[in-house]
A and B are shown apart, each in its own frame.
Chain A
Amino acid sequence: MSAITNKLPVAGDTATAAAYNAEQSAYTEGTGGLTYLSADNMALGGLDLPQFASGMVFVAADTANIGSSDLNHSSVTTINQTSPPAPVATSPAVAFPSLIATPLNVAVGEVLRVYFQCGAWAGGGGGFPWDSSTFVEQLAPGALGSEINSSWCWVGRVQYASTVTLGVPSGWTDMPGQDDFLSVYGSLVGSALEDCPATAVISAWTMCDSGLGANGSSAAWDIVDAAWQVVSGAFFYTPTSTFGPIYGFRVVFMSGVYHPYFNSATNKNWLVWDELVRPGNRLEIGQGSLTYHVMKEG
């Protein structure tokens, strides 16, 4: 219960209007002068109080283009394969000018949500883009045909800038828990699936049965470019200690094609880089955007 700390008027006192106002101010504006905002008070319209205009639910939010800012596919970021693969940022990389001056810090009790989407074109490898002797398995013992048992993809992920150098975000770092797709397993490089919270994947090509083989077999495949597709990704995070400073976000794609692999040593599913994929395969990133929200948990 609040208390008026000023000397209260008593019978016989005279008071001026100014003195009365001072008493009122002492009551309504004093430290701890009002009890906590109750649900009733909220229902009475408290939400439109000017001091609640921002920050009650969302602490921060912003959006920016990644890749080209139009839909005509004429200005794309082309990512060709390299050996070994390396991260390639879309152009322009996300800058978020507002974050350079005032970096983002996500506090305990807040939720960081990052969403991104972009147009992506994949293909270019021709008929059999991979080493077919490696990746084609017989469907079953005695079957007439054979079958493909893997999926190939390009991998992308969100990163944040941990520093600023001469006004430009730098120190690009993977999101907490996200691997860099270059972890080594024997002669292979890649990432365990459990280390991919900020990852999005893009089919490297499309294939389907075009033959009329006997049951259980496929006489022929059609393998075509995966062509344009929409990529959507997101990352949700509740830090256990203040996460930041964050001077910007960007999306990078590895310059190589990856495929599933089971790591028997650790009993984990992995995505590993396929160095036998034909070099003609490429990825093109077109128009897209990235949005981040920082929201109070309650």
Chain B
Amino acid sequence: MKRWTERQAREATALDARDYGAQSQANRESFGTLDRTQIPAQAISKSQVLPYAMHRVWTFGMEDISPTYPGEQEAVRSNYAIQLPYTWEAATYKKFGGSPGGLTFATLSLPGGKEGFYHLDFKANAMLHPYFTMSSRPVNAKHLGIIARLNGVTILETWGAVRGMSSFVLSGVGVGQAGTNVVELAFTFPAAGDNDAVVLDGTSYPWVVAHLWGMQAVVRGTWR
């Protein structure tokens, strides 16, 4: 039980305005040290908490990630691919042969943040070229890599499994600064191997190597 730091008021005590002011001041200054149960429930409510006092959420719909083709990877896209039936206008070996650091396809701006932890959830569907090698030729299994960076620092890096079609939700956490933070999303995959059949794409039949679609992201900043 906390105590007043000023003399307690008693029955029939003479009290002048300065005494009262001192009592009131003592009460106000002891506010932060009171037992939580002693603070009147109506004195502070959730509605009085300033916006973003504790946390903030930034949500990125499909059109926020890629405005021209909502939800789709549009940084590298070849219309040669659609010379073939039953495929998509997407990244081809001819257009993008893979990159260790990945190709940044979306930059997400997080304005109005504070110092704290930033949690990224990224969801997408992926199409990989269904063909991959498991013969005596050099094995060149196809993987789709996803990389996320917070202010240039990698917070997420993964190889996707070899599937013609798949869906995934990935999470990454980093420490951010006050102000505007930036999340970059990148993807990569192995370049075609020397004896990989798909390398002979020529100019007439460029093969789609991979495509991302249905992408959304949410970032949660948490601080005190």
A140 touching B200, Cβ below 8 Å: yes
Interface size, chain A (Cβ < 8 Å): 106
Verify if B195 is at the interface (C-beta below 8 Å from A): yes
Verify if B109 is at the interface (C-beta below 8 Å from A): no
A272 nearest in chain B by CB position:
B86
Chain A residues lying within 8 Å of B130, measured Cβ to Cβ, are 148, 150-151, 207
B3 to chain A minimum Cβ distance, whole angstroms, is: 15
B127, B195, B204, most chain A CB atoms within 10 A: B127
The digit string for B108-151, where 1 denotes a CB below 8 A from any CB of A, is 00000000000001010101111111111100000000000000
- Given known contacts A193-B71, A229-B163, A262-B89, is B50 in contact with A17 (CB within 8 Å)? no
Verify if A147 is at the interface (C-beta below 8 Å from B): yes
A177 to chain B minimum Cβ distance, whole angstroms, is: 8
Chain A residues lying within 8 Å of B81, measured Cβ to Cβ, are 262
A264 nearest in chain B by CB position:
B82
B169 touching A262, Cβ below 8 Å: no
B84 touching A137, Cβ below 8 Å: yes
Chain A residues lying within 8 Å of B84, measured Cβ to Cβ, are 137, 149
Chain A residues lying within 8 Å of B15, measured Cβ to Cβ, are 9, 13-15, 20
Q: Is the interface of A mostly helix, strand, loop or mixed?
A: mixed
Which residues of B pack against A, CB within 8 Å?
A: 8-17, 20, 23-24, 27, 31-33, 36-37, 39-46, 48-57, 59-62, 69-72, 81-82, 84-90, 121, 123, 125, 127-137, 163-169, 195, 197-202, 204-205, 207-208, 211, 213-214, 216-218, 220, 224
Which residues of A pack against B, CB within 8 Å?
A: 8-17, 20, 23-25, 27-29, 33-34, 36-52, 55-57, 111, 113, 115, 117, 134-135, 137-141, 143, 145, 147-153, 177, 193-194, 196-197, 199-213, 215-218, 222, 226, 229, 231-238, 259-262, 264, 267-269, 295-298
